[in-house]
Amino acid sequence: MFCYLKPRELSRAVCLSICYFASLWGPPCSAVASIVNFEELSVGPGGFFAGNRPADPSLLANFSINSTSPGIFGYGTLYNQQWTSGGVSFSNSFNTQGLNAAEFSYWSGWSWSKTSDGITSGFGNQYSAFPGGGSNGNGGVSVGGTYALVYQDVFSGAPDPFFNLPENVLLVSGDFANTTYAALSIQDGDMFADPYTTGDFLDVTLTGFNALDGTGAVLGAVTFSLADFRNGNTSILDSWRTIDLGTIALARSVSLSFTSSNLTGTPTYLALDNLTFTAVPEPTSICLLGAFFGSLVLVKRIKKQSVL
């Protein structure tokens, strides 16, 4: 299978590949990591914000609207939009409320929160990370810290949530956790599903693409478990876990999807904090790096010839 790339895309792919493999085989470099920790984001009433419209203009300052359409439930307006933090843009959809109380507002995609309720079960606590706050970067909790949340709508056929990375960066890792709503539903069951038992699971897959908005060629994927009751396990992720995203380091965008033994009954939510990436060296630095490796090959050939 061949993948056609335009000259500009090919140049970028070659440069990124050189940097990526140099980071694997070469000496440590001095690239400074950028960490998206969401702490600059303001929150609305309740300590979270999900793209609500109308809303305080300060909460919508980092939003851009891609398109609007009639609401997916036949009422209100559906806003397909993106919000930005730390140079990374996150997809979000918000369906405004209809004319009566039964026509409720609705969101999917990415939102953010600083709530810290790791105890209360149910949909009313959908914005809390199960560990009880944001990630401190070492597997512990930063109570009152801000973090991102994602909800994948598996009912309406909405596109998978995604985030777009800045140009010329290498994706490194992210801290991930269950939400309280999902974890306690898995553990205790609720009105939509029974507690997990033997053979049940909830996995999440991050898929890297070479173009924006979860489009283009697939570069790879990373899958990990939020709950695993297979093969004798009975584990539910209850802390922040750092996931290595090196296999999709070259991605321009990353989409997210869930697989589960009960996909329509399990709340498909996930918390994210400390998304980390590094900048690719400037073209001059890349050329110098290429020249360095080229000189090593040349020296090796000269030594081999001298032996002969």
Query: What CATH number is associated with residue 177?
Result: 2.60.120.1350
With beta carbons less than 8 A apart as the criterion, state whether 181 and 269 touch. yes
The whole domain housing 232 covers: 32-280
Helix, strand, coil percentages (3-state) for the chain, rounded to 5, are: 20, 35, 45
Residue 10 lies in a domain: no
Residue 295 lies in a domain: no
Confidence of residue 101 (pLDDT cuts 50, 70, 90): low
Say how far apart CA 209 and CA 193 lie, in whole Å. 33
∠ CA(107), CA(111), CA(116), 5° rounding? Answer: 115
Residue bearing the bigger pLDDT, 199 or 10 = 199
- DSSP β-bridge partners for residue 256: 206
Residue 152 lies in a domain: yes
Collapsing DSSP to helix, strand or coil, 101 comes out as coil
- The pLDDT value recorded for residue 111 is 97
Per the structure, the count of domains in the chain is: 1
Residue 261 lies in a domain: yes
- The pLDDT value recorded for residue 8 is 46
Collapsing DSSP to helix, strand or coil, 3 comes out as coil
Q: Which of 43, 77, 39 is nearest to 60 (CA)?
A: 43
Collapsing DSSP to helix, strand or coil, 201 comes out as strand
Q: Going by C-beta distance under 8 Å and a sequence separation of 6 or more, which residues neighbour residue 233?
A: none
Residue with tokens 């070259």: 250
Least confident range of 91-105, 129-143, 214-228: 91-105
* Both structure tokens of 43: 């929150």
Q: Note the residue count of the chain.
A: 308
Q: What is the mean pLDDT of the chain?
A: 86
Confidence of residue 19 (pLDDT cuts 50, 70, 90): low
With beta carbons less than 8 A apart as the criterion, state whether 174 and 222 touch. no
Least confident range of 37-41, 96-100, 125-129, 265-269: 96-100
Residue bearing the bigger pLDDT, 54 or 289 = 54
Average pLDDT score over residue span 42-65: 92
Residue with tokens 């940097």: 19
Residue 262 lies in a domain: yes
Percent of the chain with pLDDT over 70: 81
- The predicted-structure confidence for 262-294, as pLDDT tens digits, reads as follows 998 999 999 999 999 999 876 544 444 454 444
Residue 169 lies in a domain: yes
Residue 24 lies in a domain: no
Confidence of residue 16 (pLDDT cuts 50, 70, 90): low
Q: Which of 166, 200, 14 is nearest to 85 (CA)?
A: 166
- The pLDDT value recorded for residue 137 is 94
Confidence of residue 102 (pLDDT cuts 50, 70, 90): low
- The pLDDT value recorded for residue 30 is 54
Residue 1 lies in a domain: no
| pTM (two decimals) | 0.83
Least confident range of 22-36, 56-70, 112-126, 163-177: 22-36
- The pLDDT value recorded for residue 4 is 41
With beta carbons less than 8 A apart as the criterion, state whether 103 and 96 touch. no
pLDDT higher than 50, residue 241? yes
- The predicted-structure confidence for 40-49, as pLDDT tens digits, reads as follows 999 988 899 9
Least confident range of 102-106, 113-117, 185-189, 238-242: 102-106
pLDDT higher than 50, residue 1? no
